[in-house]
Structure 1
Amino acid sequence: MLRLPNSITGLVPHPVSGDTVLQQEIAAEQASSLGHAGKRVEKALERLSAYDGKDETQQKALLQAASDAVHGYFIQRELCGMRKHDAVIHEMGIPRRVLARLGAR
């Protein structure tokens, strides 16, 4: 029986099935999409908190944009198998007024 030396056995790649490659690609896309959705939430919340509050129409638009971003983020999290959002709500500091409008149009 012929065996490879220990010094190069780690260099020989293990065979990978097409299904494994596909699953890895899907996981990478999910992670990327979730990251982008999280950034959209952060930006929308920053714009909302920075608003001076003088124009009610503008304030409603910023509130709706933040709510839409959070809604999309929650949907993306659920598609990735993360069903509980309590920790994220706390960590991101999502205001109750934004949460109250989730899914509203």
Structure 2
Amino acid sequence: MSVRPPQSFSNPGGSRQTGLDILEYELMAERADALGRHGLRVEQAIAALQVLDDPETTPARREDLLDTAADVVWSFFIQREICGLRSNRDAIERYRIPREVVARLGVVRKKGQT
């Protein structure tokens, strides 16, 4: 989908936009869209953690859910950094990311391990 920026964002002096300006606008829109998609994945992963309080949740299932949530949050933080958002403190508060997930961020697990 191609969208033109509002006229108030145009270059001062009424000069025409260059192809580079248009490309930059499209890239910004794509970054914002990707950030939104990652945010939805974080919400879903955090919601899936609700079963951790269930006594019937096995330790293996618990580890799998926490690892999955950590991977999703890590990807989200990388996307935020691409968008120029350096501090993740506000995202941790907004999405209520548990400390147990934050402690696992960036951990590389070997295949076959949980």
Q: TM-score range with shorter-chain normalisation?
A: 0.7 to 0.9
Dislocated runs of 4+, deviation >2 Å: 50-54
Larger radius of gyration: 1
For structure 1, the 5+ residue unaligned runs are 1-13
| 2:15 aligned with 1:20 | no
What is the deviation of 1:41? 0.5
User: Which amino acid is 1:77 matched to?
Assistant: R
Taking only aligned residues, the RMSD between alpha carbons, in angstroms, comes to: 1.5
User: Which amino acid is 1:24 matched to?
Assistant: Y
Partner of 2:86: 83
User: Which amino acid is 1:79 matched to?
Assistant: I
What is the deviation of 1:19? 0.7
- Cα distance in 2 for partners of 1:98, 1:84 equals 17
Q: Percent identity?
A: 41
1:2-40 deviations in Å (ceiling 9; x for gaps): xxxxxxxxxxxx732101110011000000100011111
Partner SS, residue 34 of structure 2: helix
Range moving further from structure 2, 14-23 or 56-65: 14-23
Q: TM-score, normalised by structure 2?
A: 0.76
For structure 2, the 5+ residue unaligned runs are 1-14, 110-114
Range moving further from structure 2, 63-72 or 15-24: 15-24
Q: TM-score, normalised by structure 1?
A: 0.82
1:68-100 deviations in Å (ceiling 9; x for gaps): 000000000011111001111111100000000
Partner of 2:95: 92
